[in-house]
Amino acid sequence: MLTEKAFNVDDTKNCILVRSISKKEVKLCLYNYVDDKVIGYITADNASKDSFFTIDRISADKGWGPFMYTLMLQILYPTGVKPSYIIKPTAHSIWKQFIGHPNIVTESLPESDKNYTTKWEPAKGFSDDGYVGDDVETINTIFSMKPLEWFQPFLIDSDEIIIERKINTKNVFKQCLEFFYSKYYVTTEAVSIPTQDISDKYLIVLEKGASIQLMIQDKAKIYGYAEVSKKSNYYQIINIAAEPGWGPFLYDTVMLWLDKPVRPNHSLTTEAWRVWNTYMTQREDVLKKPVSSEIWTDIDLDQKMNTMSSLVEPLNYLYTINDDKRKTETIDWQYNSTNEFVNPMTKVLPDWKEKRFNQGKMYFNTKYPMHK
C-alpha cells in the first residue's frame, strides 16, 4: 500500500490543479496559489497516436510523486497511461506498487506491440541508483484509474480559483519547467572530492599547437580522455569522455594539471552538467570566476538547446582547484607516467604516443557518436 500522500487530497490546502490538455500532450501542475509555488509537475505524451499516453516528465516535492501520477491517471481516464522506458528507479518502484492496487486497473502490453521494450533505462545520472533494467513487466503495463469522488470537485475548485485570482497559467507552466530542471538536474547529495585508485594507471599528456589532450589509462584500457584548447587566460574544454565513475575524477585531474582556469563546453550531457554545477555550488576547494567576454545565453544539453538561466549559469564561469598538494601529486603522476610508461613505449614505437591519442579521440566518439 502506498503511503506517500497518494490519493490524499486533504493535503492539497491552498493548491489547485493547473492543466493544459491536447490530443498529443497533457501537462499538469499542482500549484500552491497562496505561496506561488509549484508542488509537482507531470506531462504525458501521445504524439505517435497510440491508444494510451506515455509519461514524459515528472518532478515533485518529496512525497508527492505518487499523487502526481494518480492525477494524470484520473485526468486521462478512460485512456490508459504507460511509464516511460527511461525512468528513475524510484519512479519505477512507484509504478510497480500500482500493480494490484484496488483503485487502479492494469493491462499488459503485448510483446508484438511496437512500444514493447525488453529493457528499461535509468533516467540521466541515475545509472547506479538501484538500476534493475531487466524488470520490464511494469514498463510494459498500461495503467488506468477511474476518478475518485474528490477529483471532479477539485477540478472545479481549481478552475474557479484560476478565474477569481486571474492566475496566468502560462507563467505557472514556465515555473514548472524551472521546477522540473531544478529537480531533474540538480543533486543535493553531500559532495566529496572524487578519488580513484591510480596505482596502476598512467596520466599521459599530448600538447600540439593550441590543443592539449590528456588521457588516463592502464597499459591497455582507456579510463578517461579530455581535450582542451588554449585561450588567452583560460582553457576551453573541447571533448571529454570517461568510463563510469571516472568522470568527476577526470575533470579534477584536468584542472589540477593545467596552469590556468578551465571553462566548460557549450554542449554537455546531463552527467557533465552536474559536475560543473557541483563545482559552482558545492565544491569549496574550487575557485570560480565569471567570464568577462563571450557570455553564453543558451546551452546544448543532451543535444537539446535550452535558454533556462539556471542551466546556462555554470557555463559562464572559469574554474580552478585551489589545492597545492593535489596539484603537485597530479603533476608528479604525469611526470612518473612519462618516465615509466610513455618513454619506454616511444623507444619501441616512435609514433606510439600520437597514435594512442588518435585512439583516445576514437574512444570519445564511441562514447558520444553524435560528435563524429
CB atoms within 10 A of CB 301: 22
Q: In terms of DSSP bridges, do strands 262-263 and 235-242 run parallel, antiparallel, or are they unpaired?
A: parallel
269, pLDDT greater than 80: yes
The residue-averaged pLDDT of 94-122 equals 88
10, pLDDT greater than 90: no
pTM, 2 dp: 0.64
What is the architecture of the domain spanning 202-371? 3-Layer(aba) Sandwich (3.40)
Q: How far apart are CA 236 and CA 270, in angstroms?
A: 19
Residues 6+ apart with CB under 8 A from 188: none
CB atoms within 10 A of CB 174: 12
CB 345 within 8 A of CB 352: yes
Residues 6+ apart with CB under 8 A from 151: 9, 74
Return the pLDDT at 53.
Answer: 96
Measured between alpha carbons, how far is residue 174 from residues 47, 171, 177, 178, 308 in Å? 21, 5, 5, 7, 10
**C-alpha closest to that of 262 among 271, 273, 254, 270:** 254
Return the pLDDT at 187.
Answer: 60
Highest averaged pLDDT of the listed ranges 110-114, 212-216, 269-273, 289-293: 212-216
From first CA to last CA, the distance across the chain in angstroms is 49
**C-alpha closest to that of 108 among 63, 131, 133, 139:** 139
Return the pLDDT at 290.
Answer: 94
> What is the per-residue pLDDT across 215-253, written as a single tens digit (0 to 9) for each?
999 999 999 999 999 999 999 999 999 998 899 999 999
Q: In terms of DSSP bridges, do strands 52-60 and 86-87 run parallel, antiparallel, or are they unpaired?
A: unpaired
Q: How far apart are CA 203 and CA 327, in angstroms?
A: 13
CB 353 within 8 A of CB 360: no
CB 61 within 8 A of CB 32: no
The CB-side HSE value for 64 (13 A sphere, CA atoms) comes to 22
371, pLDDT greater than 60: no
Lowest-pLDDT range of 66-70, 127-131, 215-219? 127-131
* Residue found under cell 490546502: 13
Return the pLDDT at 133.
Answer: 53
> What is the per-residue pLDDT across 273-300, written as a single tens digit (0 to 9) for each?
989 999 998 898 999 999 988 999 999 9
> What is the per-residue pLDDT across 166-207, written as a single tens digit (0 to 9) for each?
999 999 998 998 888 877 766 655 578 999 999 999 999 999
Q: In terms of DSSP bridges, do strands 235-242 and 25-32 run parallel, antiparallel, or are they unpaired?
A: unpaired
Q: How far apart are CA 328 and CA 223, in angstroms?
A: 21
* Enclosing H/E stretch for 118: none
Q: In terms of DSSP bridges, do strands 15-21 and 25-32 run parallel, antiparallel, or are they unpaired?
A: antiparallel
Domain ranges in the chain?
Answer: 9-185, 202-371
DSSP for 247-311, written as a single string: HHHHHHHHHHHSSS-EE--SEE-HHHHHHHHHHHHT-TTEEEEE-SS-----EEETTEEE--HHH
Q: How far apart are CA 86 and CA 122, in angstroms?
A: 6
